[in-house]
């Protein structure tokens, strides 16, 4: 019995997709448990790139089942488009391979309209959301006015819910946000039609997972976003509206905590962030540009240039605590090749005091300066390395310091975007010896 959770430890885009695709080989089921199509998870297999927004990153393994849990907010138009794109590429998509939880909440056109109009209204204080309607959809879920996948399948419920919601949303859009109102009929028609295509995929995902576990199958849970974008633990309000931390799995997939055996935290070898918000180790110089260019740091969802900076282990250590990490996967190590010296942030200096975790107050965080440890870089191309002893000494020292400072063992080291450009130190699905 062995189930594994993969979570991002920074601000998203750590390379979760690549690691999930790799680990799917050992799993039977792959389950997303939160977020929506704000996520962009990139897989590179046989030289071909695939970006998953809603469908779990295990989908390229044709004998594995992918499930979209109740904790997600799902834009059905995006889901159908993603299913179509994969089908056109010869990947089999049918209810044997893909399920959508009947409890997942549905992103409606008014959620997207509200998301966009609010960001405009916020002006320079905007969050820099992906504009996909994520926040407004989660608000309706918590406000108990949301539309779930099951409601899509019940025509009269759908009609009533859209009508009731539109009244309030249109008032808010027009009177407060100076935006255009939306019409009932086109929305109802479009969603009813999409519901028919999705109907065979809508199931009770919690029961499916339970049955799989009972029959000895292995489950891989795929997080989206990252720990510091978590609605509770992230750099609030510059966060997303879900819980990307490992605890989110239980609520977002309908499984008990005792069924989670290994939590793998993905750590990019440096730090990036898309959108607004604090970023203590951000590099606004040529080193930042070097990392941005070598790492091709553009958002997989919105195409925005990602902000880049040194590896912040204060953040990662916080993530160890929030997620209960069992092991770390270090990604994009190859991007650092060619830099003379590398810096790792090991603490913050704040109002004359040295602190080891991120303060909750953004005002206090703004007063913090990173405390760095400097390490020598390396010049060698490391993308062909498949074992630790094929890495230069400086590269291994960098990894060792991460392990020492976080006090969590490494299980995977990624040296390139392709599936095989990976060093596997320990298989997260293999339980530790008793
Ligand atoms: P995710 O959202 O965490 O799945 O990450 P993204 O897919 O948004 O961003 C990670 C990017 O880095 C993608 O373009 C990946 O193809 C790429 N990538 C993943 N691992 C590596 C690696 O080890 N080296 C390099 N150079 N690129 C990588
Ligand atoms: P993956 O799964 C990086 C960021 C947005 C914005 C904030 C809120 O690919 O790692 P939202 O649209 O969620 O309301 O935006 O969160 N954000 C991400 N940044 N990777 C992601 O996902 C993200 N999903 C949301 O840029 O700052
Ligand atoms: Mg991404």
DSSP 180-243: ----HHHHHHHHHHHHHHHGGGEE-HHHHHHHHHHTT--EEEE--S-GGG-TTTSSTTSS-SS-
Beta carbons of 59 and 68 less than 8 angstroms apart: no
Pocket of ligand 2 (CB under 6 A): 8, 11-13, 38-41, 127-130, 132, 134-135, 224-226, 229, 240-241, 274-275, 300
Other CB atoms within 10 Å distance of the CB of residue 89? 10
Among 222, 278, 343, 262, residue whose Cα is nearest residue 11: 278
User: In angstroms, what is the span from residue 298 Cα to ligand 3's centroid?
Assistant: 9
Q: What pLDDT score was predicted for residue 302? A: 87
The pLDDT of residue 301:
84
Least confident of 122-126, 307-311, 324-328, 427-431: 427-431
Mutate to test the pocket of ligand 2, among 119, 275, 304 (most ligand atoms within 8 A of CB): 275
Average pLDDT over residues 191-215: 98
Name the pLDDT band for 338 (thresholds 50, 70, 90): very high
Model pLDDT for residues 15-47, shown as the tens digit of each residue: 999 999 999 999 999 999 999 999 999 999 999
Residue 6 contacts residue 222 (beta carbons within 8 Å)? yes
- Give the separation between CA 65 and CA 59, rounded to whole angstroms: 7
Single pTM value for the model: 0.98
Is the model's pLDDT at 431 over the cut of 80? Answer: no
Q: Residue 124 Cα, ligand 1 centroid: separation in angstroms?
A: 29
Which atom from ligand 1 is nearest to the alpha carbon of 49?
Answer: 16
* Ligand 2 nearest atom to the CA of residue 130, by list position: 12
- Minimum CA distance residue for ligand 1 atom 8: 13
The set of protein residues with a Cβ atom below 6 angstroms from ligand 1 is: 8, 12-18, 40-42, 44, 300, 331-332, 334-335, 414-417
CA distance 170 to 179: 9
Catalytic residue set: 13, 41
Note the pLDDT tens digit of each residue in 323-334: 999 999 999 999
- Backbone phi, psi, residue 367, to 5°: -85, -10
**Distance (Å, rounded) from C-alpha 242 to C-alpha 72?**
8
Q: How many CB atoms lie within 10 A of CB 235?
A: 20
pLDDT at residue 50 tops 90: yes
Place of tokens 């019940």: 154
94-118 pLDDT tens trace? 999 999 999 999 999 999 999 999 9
Ligand 1, atom 10: closest residue by C-alpha: 15
């Amino acid at each position: 019995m062995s189930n594994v959770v993969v979570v991002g430890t920074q601000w998203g885009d750590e390379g979760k997709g690549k690691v999930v695709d790799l680990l799917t080989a050992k799993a039977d089921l792959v389950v997303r448990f939160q977020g929506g199509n704000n996520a962009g998870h990139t897989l590179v297999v046989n030289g071909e790139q695939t970006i998953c927004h809603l469908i779990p990153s295990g989908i390229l393994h044709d004998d594995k089942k992918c499930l979209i849990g109740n904790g997600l907010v799902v834009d059905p138009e995006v889901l159908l488009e993603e299913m179509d794109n994969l089908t056109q590429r010869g990947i089999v998509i049918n209810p044997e391979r893909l399920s959508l939880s009947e409890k997942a909440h549905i992103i409606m056109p008014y959620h997207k309209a509200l998301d966009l109009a609010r960001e405009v209204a916020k002006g320079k204080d905007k969050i820099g959301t992906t504009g996909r309607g994520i926040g407004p959809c989660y608000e309706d879920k918590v406000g108990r006015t949301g539309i779930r996948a099951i409601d899509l399948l019940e025509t009269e419920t759908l009609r009533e819910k859209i009508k009731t919601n539109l009244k309030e949303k249109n008032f808010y859009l027009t009177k407060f946000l100076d935006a255009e109102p939306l019409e009932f009929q086109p929305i109802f028609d479009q969603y009813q039609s999409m519901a028919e295509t999705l109907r065979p995929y809508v199931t009770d995902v919690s029961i499916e997972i339970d049955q799989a576990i009972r029959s000895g199958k292995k489950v891989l849970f795929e997080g989206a976003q990252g720990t510091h974008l978590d609605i509770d633990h992230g750099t609030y309000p510059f966060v997303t509206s879900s819980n990307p931390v490992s605890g989110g799995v239980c609520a977002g997939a309908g499984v008990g905590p005792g069924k989670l055996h290994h939590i793998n935290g993905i750590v990019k070898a440096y730090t990036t962030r898309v959108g607004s918000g604090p970023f203590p180790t951000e590099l606004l110089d040529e080193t930042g540009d070097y990392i941005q260019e070598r790492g091709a740091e553009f958002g997989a969802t919105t195409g925005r240039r990602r902000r880049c900076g040194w590896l912040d282990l204060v953040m990662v250590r916080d993530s160890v605590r929030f997620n209960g990490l069992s092991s770390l996967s270090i990604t994009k190590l190859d991007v650092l090749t060619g830099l003379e010296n590398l810096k790792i942030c090991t603490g913050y200096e704040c109002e004359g005091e040295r602190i080891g975790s991120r303060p909750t107050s953004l005002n206090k965080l703004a007063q913090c300066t990173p405390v760095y440890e400097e390490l020598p870089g390396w010049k060698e191309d490391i993308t062909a390395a498949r074992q630790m002893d094929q890495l230069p000494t400086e590269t291994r020292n960098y990894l060792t310091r991460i392990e020492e400072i976080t006090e969590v063992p490494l299980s995977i080291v990624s040296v390139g975007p392709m599936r095989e450009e990976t060093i596997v130190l320990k298989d997260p699905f293999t339980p530790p010896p008793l």
